[in-house]
Amino acid sequence: MTEDLDECYDVIVKLSKKGGQLIHERIWSQKSVQFKSCEVDLVTETDQEVEKLLISSLKSKFPGHKFIGEESTAAGIKCELTDYPTWIIDPVDGTMNFVHGYPNVCVSVALWVDKVAEIGIIYNPVLELFFSARRGQGAFLNGKPIHVSQENDLSKSLIGYEFGTSRDPEKMKVVMENMNILTPLVHGVRSTGSCAQNMAMVALGGTDANFEYGIHAWDIAAGYLIVTEAGGVVIDPAGGPFDVLSRRYLCACSQDLADQLVTIIKQHYPERD
Amino acid sequence: MKHDVDQYFETVLGITRDAGKIIKEGIARTKNVDTKLGSWDLVTQYDRRVENVLMKEISKKFPSHKFIAEETNAEQKATPELTNAPTWIIDPIDGTTNFVHGFHLTCISIALSIEKEVVIGIIYNPILDQLFTAIKGQGAHLNNQRINASQVEELCKSMVCLESSFACIPSLKDSIMKRTEACVKVAHGIRVLGSAALALCYVAMGVAEAYHIDGLQCWDVAAGALIVREAGGIVLDSTGGTFDMMSHRILACGTKKLAEELVILFKKADASIIKININNG
C-alpha cells in the first residue's frame, strides 16, 4: 500500500507539539498518580490524555492505520506489528520524571509501514528539544541536522544507563552487575530517566551508547529511526538484529563500540511485548 | 569592613553570563584534552579560558578579593585554604565530562565566601539558559523565579541524584556501588547527571529530593549548597554531621527527615562492605 508519508509527517509533527504543550502546562502542577506493575511504574491522567489526543486525531485522519500505544495496550495482551501502517506511541516517556517535575519528559511517536520505521519523533517540551527523522532523510534536532559521535574507544565513551522501573530481583541484579562492569571501563554513565531521551542523546552525539532491558516497543520505536538516521546503530544487546517487540535494545555511535559493549554486558530477557 | 553583597552579586552575575558564551562556543567543537587526576577528571582549554576571564574581570572590579579556583589550584598543586577575606570559589566548567561530549548538563559555578561563610551562589548553564542564584537571606531563584526544595520526607517517594560513575575511582568504588544499590531498592528513581552544581540546583528546584556525593572539591558544591539552603532545603555532611565544603562530603535534601533516612541507609551500606571484607579477608 502507498501512504502519503509527507502528510503523515506533517500531521504527527503538529500533534506531537500539541501533546507536548499539555505536558509542559502540567509538569509543575498537582497530578493524580496510579501504579501499574509496581510502585515505581506510574501513570498519570496526562499520559492518558495525551495518548487519547494523538490516537483519536490520527484515527480520524488515517482510518486504516493501526496503533500500539502504551496506555491503550491492555496488560497481558501481546502486541502485534503487522504490515499495516502502525503508529507506536509513548505519550509521556519518563512518567516518573513528570511526576517529580524533573525535566526529562518526552512524547515519543513512530510510524512503521511494512514493518519498517518511516517516521520518528521524540519531543521534550520542557527543554524544547524536538528530535525528528524520516527514513533516508537524516535526523534533526529543532530543524538542524544531527549526527552520532565518532567515539570508538570504550574508555572515552559516555554511556546512557538506567536503573529502571522494575523491582524484579533478577532484573535488578543484572542492572547492578552491568553498572559494576561498566563504571571502571567507560568515561562516565548518565541516567536521564527517559528511554527515548537516552536514545536521542546518542543520535545527538551527547552520549556514545545506551542500552536497556525491560522497556517497551513504544519507548524505542522512534529512537531506533532517529539513531540510525543520525549514522548510529541499533541492535539487540546480545549482538543480533534489533527487534522492536523484544523489550531489549543497544544503540551506539558505531558497530565497533556496540560490539565492545556486547562482549562485556550481562543479558536479561524480559517477556516480549 | 562593610561589604555591599548586592553590588558584588550584580557585578559578578554580568561577568558570569558573559563567560557562559565561551562554554556555548566550545561545546560542539573538538577540544584538546589533557588528563588530570585520572581519566575521569578532565581539563580543557575552555576550562582555563573561562576561569581566566572570571578571575581577570572580578579582580578589575574588586582588586582586594581572593580566589579559590579549580584550574589555578591544579596548576599550583595547592590545597585550597579558605580565609576570612572575601573569596570567590570558582568551578569554571562543572560537568567537564559532559562538556567534552557535548552533553547539555554543564555550567559555571561561582560562590562568594566572606568570613568563611558563603553569601552568594551563582550557577549558570548557558546551553539551556538556566541561571540559578542565591544571596544569603534572600531565597533561591531560577531565571528570577523563586524556587523551593521538595517537601517529600520518605525515600520511597523520592528521586535521588547520585554520581554513580565516580565508581571508576578505585578507592570510592565499593562505597558508591553499595550506596547506589541501597538507594535503587527503595527510591522512586536514581538520576546521574555528571554535574554536582546542577544536581544541587535540581534539589533546590524540588524536582529531585536528594543529591549525594563524596569525593568532590569545594568549588563543585559551594554555590549549590547555598542555593539549596536558600530554597528551604538542608545540606549536611554525608555522615550526618555539619556540612563543611572543604571536607569533600555532601548530602543535600529537601527535608531533614529524608536526610536522616539516607544517612542511616549509607551507614548500613558501608557496614556491609566491611562485613564482606572481613569474610573475604
State whether residue B75 is helix, strand or coil: helix
Last residue of a domain, one of B146, B172, B202: B146
Interface check B181 vs A, CB under 8 A: yes
CATH number of the domain at A5-146, out of 3.40.50.2000, 3.40.50.150, 3.30.540.10, 3.50.50.60?
3.30.540.10
Q: Are B40 and A176 in contact (CB < 8 Å)?
A: no
**Statement to judge: residues B98 and B142 lie in one domain:** yes
Residue B38: pLDDT above 50?
no
Cβ atoms of A184 and B173 within 8 Å: the answer is yes
Q: Detail the residues of B annotated as belonging to a binding site for Mg(2+).
A: 70, 91, 93-94, 220
Beta bridge partners of A122: A108, A131
Quickly name the fold that domain A154-264 has: D-Maltodextrin-Binding Protein; domain 2 (3.40.190)
Radius of gyration of chain A (CA): 17
Q: Is B79 a catalytic residue?
A: no
Question: What cell was used for B123?
Answer: 550557577
Q: Is B96 a catalytic residue?
A: yes
Residue B192: pLDDT above 70?
yes
Q: Which residues of A have a CB under 8 Å from any CB of B?
A: 39-40, 96-97, 99-103, 127, 149, 155-156, 158, 161, 163, 165, 167, 172, 175-176, 179-180, 183-184, 186-193, 201, 204-208
Residue B261 is inside which H or E element, if any? helix B256-280
Residue given cell 510510524 in the structure block: A111
**Statement to judge: residues B6 and B135 lie in one domain:** yes
Mean of pLDDT values over A30-44: 76
Whole-number Cα distances in Å, A118 to A109, A137, A271, B145: 11, 10, 26, 42
Q: Number of folded domains in chain B?
A: 2
**Statement to judge: residues B235 and B131 lie in one domain:** no
**Statement to judge: residues B68 and B4 lie in one domain:** yes
Give the confidence band of B41 by pLDDT, cuts at 50, 70, 90: very low
Residue B257: pLDDT above 60?
yes
Residue of higher predicted confidence among B169 and A55: A55
**Statement to judge: residues B136 and B196 lie in one domain:** no
**Statement to judge: residues B50 and B120 lie in one domain:** yes
pLDDT confidence of residue A2: 64
Q: Is B180 a catalytic residue?
A: no
**Statement to judge: residues B3 and B28 lie in one domain:** yes
Distance, CA of A158 to CA of B96 (rounded, Å): 12
Sign of CA dihedral A51, A54, A57, A62: negative
Distance, CA of B69 to CA of B208 (rounded, Å): 28
Give the confidence band of A37 by pLDDT, cuts at 50, 70, 90: confident
Q: Identify the domain containing residue B215 by its residue range.
A: 155-280
- Segments making up each domain of chain A, as ranges: 5-146, 154-264
The one catalytic residue among B44, B96, B106, B180 = B96
**Statement to judge: residues B174 and B85 lie in one domain:** no
Q: Are A189 and B173 in contact (CB < 8 Å)?
A: no
The one catalytic residue among B90, B93, B110, B234 = B93
Q: Are B103 and A161 in contact (CB < 8 Å)?
A: no
Q: pTM of the prediction?
A: 0.93
Smallest CA-to-CA distance from B209 within A190, A97, A175 is with: A97
Interface check B168 vs A, CB under 8 A: yes
Cβ atoms of B161 and B211 within 8 Å: the answer is yes
**Statement to judge: residues B138 and B234 lie in one domain:** no
Residues B100-128: tens digit of each pLDDT = 888 999 999 999 999 999 999 999 999 99
The one catalytic residue among B47, B51, B71, B220 = B220
Distance, CA of A8 to CA of A6 (rounded, Å): 5
Measured between CB atoms, which of B173, B192, B207 is closest to A189? B192
Residue A83: pLDDT above 80?
yes
**Statement to judge: residues B132 and B171 lie in one domain:** no
pLDDT confidence of residue B25: 82
Q: Are A163 and B184 in contact (CB < 8 Å)?
A: yes
Measured between CB atoms, which of B40, B102, B159 is closest to A102? B159
Give the confidence band of B33 by pLDDT, cuts at 50, 70, 90: low
Distance, CA of B90 to CA of B246 (rounded, Å): 13
Question: What cell was used for A96?
Answer: 516518573
Measured between CA atoms, how close is B57 to chain A, in angstroms? 31
Last residue of a domain, one of B129, B146, B163: B146
Distance, CA of A202 to CA of A207 (rounded, Å): 5
Indicate whether this complex's ipTM tops 0.90. yes
